[in-house]
Chains A and B, each alone.
Chain A
Amino acid sequence: MEKFSFKDILVLIAGLFITAGVAYAILTVTGFIPTDIAKLFYEGAFVGQRNILNTLNIATPYILTSVATVISFRVGMFNIGINGSMYVGALYAAWAGYRFTTLGHLSHVSLCIFIGMLVGALWMLMPALLRVYAGVSEIISTIILNFVAVLFVSYMCNGPFRAAPIAPTTARILETAELKQYFPNSEFHTGFFIAVFVAFAAYFVLNKTTFGYELRSGGDGLVGFYPSRYSSYLGIPSDRSAITGMLISGAIGGLAGAVIVLGNTRNFYQEMAFNQGFDGILIAIIGKLEPLGGLISSLFYAALKNGGLFVDYKTEVSREIVVILMSILIFFVSAQKIVSSLERFEFVKKLDKFFSRKVK
């Protein structure tokens, strides 16, 4: 993979400025005072304990789904089905949360997380096997499985797992299964630490272990979009790598769902609408398909989101404007052509060299 370089940062900053410019224009035209809105936006994302905690809380599932994306993409499997894993992981974490009644706190939480991850992983087993043994594109099968997941969980919490007669929800999980919320004014919970840990663990495994090398040897990145024969030529069982990568990716997707249920909602209900599995792909690509890049972009993305929510809540500015701005920004950040065209400027080249030397 190409690593982050100074050019990327330059484009990001330029993108931020242009996005701010567009925001300024839109807000002025619609009769708001842009500087006031910007202040609110900033306040909502970063100022005060409550807002900071909320930003971190929003980031939690994004960190996990982006890491899940990174892992599958880098073994050469284009897993678009992380959202599906999230759904089934969340559902079964909730089930384990109310079903096992005799456990202590640590063992119960661990069991729920384990079950969420296991189910999330199993959800990816079929597309992985189909790809390796029948050549079915995992892109197609995982997209389809996303729909299946939505219908499946909706059936389950209407039917077998339904607890309340009035609404399609599962029972509330027991207190022993809860991920702790530390502050009265925010839903911020232990899941954040789990997510950060997973990002670092993924970074370590992918880059610092022989297992990670074997996983990546047939894939590693978007370029080309085809698996290399290199790994099987070396005698690394590349089929096994592909399957393992998919399962790990699914497990982390399941974990993303599980931490939401165990830490935020405390039950699973039919209206639960996840999209973090999809946004995670975007975030992972912005993070250059590096686990820690995914971590940083998730925090960034969550800050934008939370700032937007705050503006929405405090003013008449509609929430949609945030979506528009975010799209513009992402458009710039992912515009590789712009990044590479910067090479023609001498000072960019020099800075680039300077920074890459530092990294080494």
Chain B
Amino acid sequence: MNKKQKELAIEVKGITKSYPGVVANKSVDFTVNKGEIHALVGENGAGKSTLMKILYGIEQPDEGEVSVNGNVVQINKVDAAIKLGIGMVHQEFHLVPSFTAAENIGLGEEPRNSNGLINWDKLNKDVSEIAEKYGLDVDPNLRMIDASVGVQQRTEILKTLYRNADILILDEPTAVLTPQETDELFQVIRSLVDEGKTVIFITHKLREVMEISDRVTVMRDGEVQGVSETKKTSVKELANLMVGREVFLQVKKEKSKPTDVVLEVKDLWVHDARGLVAVKGVNFEVAKGEIVGIAGVDGNGQTELVEALAGLRDTSRGEILFEGKNIEKNSPRQRRREGLAHIPEDRSNTGLNVRLAIWENLIGTSYFRSPLSRGGIVSMKNILRHSNELRETFDIRSPGVTIRAGSLSGGNQQKVVVARELSEEPALTIASQPTRGVDIGNIEAIHEQIVEIRDSGKAVLLISAELDEVMSVADRVGVIYEGEFVEWVDPSKVNQEQMGLYMAGIKG
């Protein structure tokens, strides 16, 4: 390692930060070398975002000091951070949906003509130049409403580069990306570092840490658990540090013993929101006591298939038989009553109403039943007891159940959804991306719960874009490509490469 690389871009000493009820950072020491890709990993609620918000001037530490490029600095507002060359892409994007990429990137810093009006040509040109330099594929004139998540993220990165950021903080950038988009992002990160930038990359996917980072810092419960060069550590070691106990990366389960068929789908056709055919005549069955997985790259009809099964989208042809009865005309409520639960892929606007309290989100499938309500009058006492029980069973980390669901971290929001759906002990659980944006310790817990449901003789349909997840949890896997099943496989008898080919639509 040469001398230049050893210089510190960021040095944080003894940072402590508390929120009401939690200490989010406990005397944290954290250093980032100039020009490196530094991974910061930890479970949800470990305090990663808080630490980054302190660096970016959004939050003020209670104690401790921050140095940037060797100088002790006070970062008391975001402007100060930007002046120091720090840029941050938040977990939730901060974009104006009706603005174009260029308008978002230039917002507040637009180049002016001599007459004081905005020089749009220059802005577009500048944006295109930066985009090209770092391989960030963004059309400056595309409105953010119409942009994919990947493009929105690249726009956020451009926003920081446009403000001359040298140190980029990416807060869980891959949580929302498909595998392909993740690969593209990694290329961008590499080209940023090649151009002399420093990148802090937050994630809880350890495979990504191994793939991209130079060094890694692990946090748990607000404290730093360890720092290491990535080469010198392993996924296993990181996982144990993160969770604080031994983690089993492989799901432990017996062979499945399927019995009666619960769900039978026959020649099902479904259209997407734009009216295009998304699901093209699929056939499959799910039986009691088995977990059926659906693998595939996002956007191959999974969303539409799940919505049709859950009653959120009309089908155009075919049959959905639930315990032998056609449920195609039934409302979501009726389907739930018959024993179908649904963990949706979009948790923040479908699985939850983030404006409601946690308890209000936990009772969505049971509020109309005794003991939570009687004769239309709710019993707050019973509801709070029920909600607190779920909070404990499903390990939802929050100071209480009366705060808004929107104030929880993504992983904890997901646990609220999972808790509500699984507490109903449904005959069939449709779990769509159940661990997206959830950290390792909790992924393990959710997987265990899914296997438990199976072992209690219930059926599970698991849809996931994470190949590892489907392969390790499901008993039988169908690979979907462009709305059709390419192949059904036994996950213990097929390797990753073969699956990769199926997912690309290549058969046999």
Name A's B-contacting residues (CB within 8 A).
1-2, 208-211, 213, 216-221, 223-224, 228-237, 344, 349, 352-353, 360
Contacts and interface: CB of A to CB of B under 8 A. Distances in A.
B378 A213 contact: yes
Contacts of A360: 400, 402
B311 A220 contact: no
Nearest to A359: B402
Contacts of B373: 209-210
B312 A233 contact: yes
Give the top 3 A-B pairs by smallest Cβ distance, nearest first. A235-B333, A235-B332, A230-B353
A360 B401 CA distance: 11
B494 to A, nearest CB: 34
Contact of B376 (A211, A236, A344): A211
Contacts of B437: none
B349 A230 contact: yes
Contacts of B342: 233
Interface of B: 20, 60, 310-312, 331-336, 342, 344, 346, 349-356, 360-361, 363-365, 367-368, 373, 376-378, 380, 400, 402, 404, 406
A231 to B, nearest CB: 7
B368 A210 contact: yes
Contacts of B20: 349, 352-353
Given A209-B377, A224-B354, 17 more contacts: A209-B373, A209-B378, A210-B368, A210-B376, A213-B363, A213-B378, A217-B353, A217-B356, A219-B355, A220-B356, A228-B352, A228-B353, A228-B354, A229-B346, A233-B344, A235-B311, A360-B402
A74 to B, nearest CB: 9
B350 A233 contact: yes
Contact of B364 (A209, A217, A220): A217
Contacts of B351: 230, 233
Contact of A235 (B331, B353, B361, B402): B331
A210 B378 contact: yes
A217 to B, nearest CB: 6
A237 B331 CA distance: 9
B314 to A, nearest CB: 13
Contacts of B367: 210, 213
A209 B363 CA distance: 13
11 contacts: A211-B376, A213-B360, A216-B356, A216-B360, A228-B352, A229-B346, A232-B312, A234-B365, A235-B336, A237-B331, A360-B400
B340 to A, nearest CB: 11
A235 B331 CA distance: 6
Contacts of A233: 310, 312, 332, 342, 344, 350-351
Nearest to B21: A353
A221 to B, nearest CB: 5
A235 B20 CA distance: 36
A28 to B, nearest CB: 38
Determine which residue in A218, A219, A236 has the highest number of CB atoms from chain B within 10 A of its CB, and name it.
Answer: A236
